[in-house]
Amino acid sequence: MMRNGNQWLKLGGILSFVVALLHLVIIFVGAPAYRYFGAGEDMATAAESGSAFPALITLVLVAVFTIWGLYAFSGAGVIRRLPLLTIALLLIGAIYTLRGVFVFQQIFQIATSSVQVAPREVVFSLVSLVIGLAYLVGTVINWKIFRASNRAVET
């Protein structure tokens, strides 16, 4: 079991970089990947027609997930301290976790057969939940360290 907040943040950072890399691959695969990963038919059709719009939107997501990975690594002490570190880690963790809690609704829908849910959607939600919890657990464990370094920066 990981008791060190740095390990949790490293895990969250690595997984954020994997998500960023996956989005980069989606750009090169094109329309089938946009469809498979749930970007919507409009994005897939635009990619098929040669529009740069889906790639640009996806590149923005690559940048966001990369920055989130850098924040996790900063919190773990792997790279220099980034601005607004504690609040950023909490927000990133909350965003991933909020996306991830859909897994409970999806499992309920599968159990009650009320709505068709693709197994990959459950996996995507679980991955988001794991990443979000890694950020939040790592941040909470390191809370005193972050507070102490905030005070050191202020003086």
**Domain boundaries, given as residue ranges, for the chain:** 5-154
More confident residue, 88 or 151: 88
Q: What is each CA distance from 124 to 38, 50, 64, 94, in whole angstroms?
A: 10, 27, 17, 16
Q: 22-58, pLDDT tens digit by residue?
A: 999 999 999 999 999 999 999 999 999 999 999 999 9
Q: Which residue has the tokens 């939040």?
A: 136
Element holding 54 (H helix, E strand):
helix 53-75
pLDDT value at residue 155: 47
Question: Is the model's pTM score more than 0.85?
Answer: yes
Mean pLDDT of 75-79: 96
pLDDT value at residue 144: 86
Is pLDDT of 94 > 90? yes
Mean pLDDT of 69-85: 97
Query: What mean pLDDT value characterizes the chain?
Result: 93
pLDDT value at residue 153: 55
Is pLDDT of 128 > 60? yes
In sequence order, which residues have a C-beta less than 8 Å from that of residue 148 and are 6 or more positions away?
A: none
Would you say 83 and 67 are in contact if contact means Cβ atoms under 8 Å apart? Answer: no
